[in-house]
Amino acid sequence: MAVLLSTKANAMEAWRAALLALDPGLEIRMFPDAGDPGEIEAAVVWTSHDMAELRRYSNLKLIVSMGAGVDHLLRPPGPPPGIPVARLVDRMLTTQMGEWVLLNVLRFHRQDLEYRELQRDRTWLELPAPVTAERRIGILGLGELGAHAAALLRGLGFPLMGWTRRPRSLNGVETFHGADGLAAMAARSDILICLLPLTPETRGIVDSRLLARLPRGAFLINGARGGHVVDADLLAALDSGHVAAAALDVFDPEPLPPDHAYWAHPRVVMTPHAASITIPASAAAQVVDNLRRARAGAPLLNLVDFAAGY
């Protein structure tokens, strides 16, 4: 039996090598060279793979998504019915996202955009020093990524709040939940960070209503999915000055079209969905473990709950 590997062309060989280093006995077939469909027992795939194509494999026992987000799996037609799907919860993914969040919080907190403008203008001017204890940060989503980011920011002394759909407590974080909680937290968030899973309930959550609730001059950081943000609403808030700036790593669609307003906006800092990139050497052990579990009929790690959307 064989494992189908399907990801970006420039990452395919690295994934193959990482998996074989842990289990040299694996037979790995790199899409589209799947061979006999009946011999494929597991598919390790990323967002570009067509879920309908996986219905060709009659003996498929497991699908592994090469990342923490699974919104691409929820798009019709979805994965083959009855086949378990696992996602990656990898230490390096979490670490990288924490670094990216910290980078942009400090970029905004320490007035880096303003100082870069002064540098371009060759102007020597010292701006008033910001006070960390007065910069309130709200985090949308307190899962693996949100909790880790909160721990990093707490270590620097920022006052922290966090919002989830259902009640949750987290050490050192004032927590909110539900629609009323979202409005209350937004009203006190000088920096709003989105690290939510993308589900039908969270799509478009950062819209004109939520942005209007932020204090004037607040900042937005989105490292989750582009579908969380209503682009026209954010651009209007930036142009009015109500939102001072935004750091965006994710977009809808991706790649971002070259004529999109974000590219040239002076108050938007962009990265190309690069905040947290799966490193095969780090993530492969979890994949191999799940392959062995699937073969043995043992409980799988990090199964996707399609009812919850993550």
Radius of gyration of the chain (CA): 21
User: Rounded CA gap, 188 and 204, in Å?
Assistant: 20
Please check whether residue 220 is in contact with residue 194, taking contact to mean a CB–CB distance below 8 angstroms.
Answer: yes
Looking at 225, 242, 267, 292, which residue is catalytic?
Answer: 225
Tell me how far CA of residue 198 lies from CA of 107, 203, 221, in angstroms: 26, 6, 15
Catalytic residue list contains 225: yes
Please check whether residue 219 is in contact with residue 108, taking contact to mean a CB–CB distance below 8 angstroms.
Answer: yes
User: Alpha-carbon torsion 260, 221, 89, 70, what sign?
Assistant: negative
Catalytic residue list contains 203: no
Please check whether residue 282 is in contact with residue 22, taking contact to mean a CB–CB distance below 8 angstroms.
Answer: no
Looking at 273, 292, 293, 295, which residue is catalytic?
Answer: 273
Which residues are 122's β-sheet partners?
none
Q: Which of the residues are catalytic?
A: 225, 273
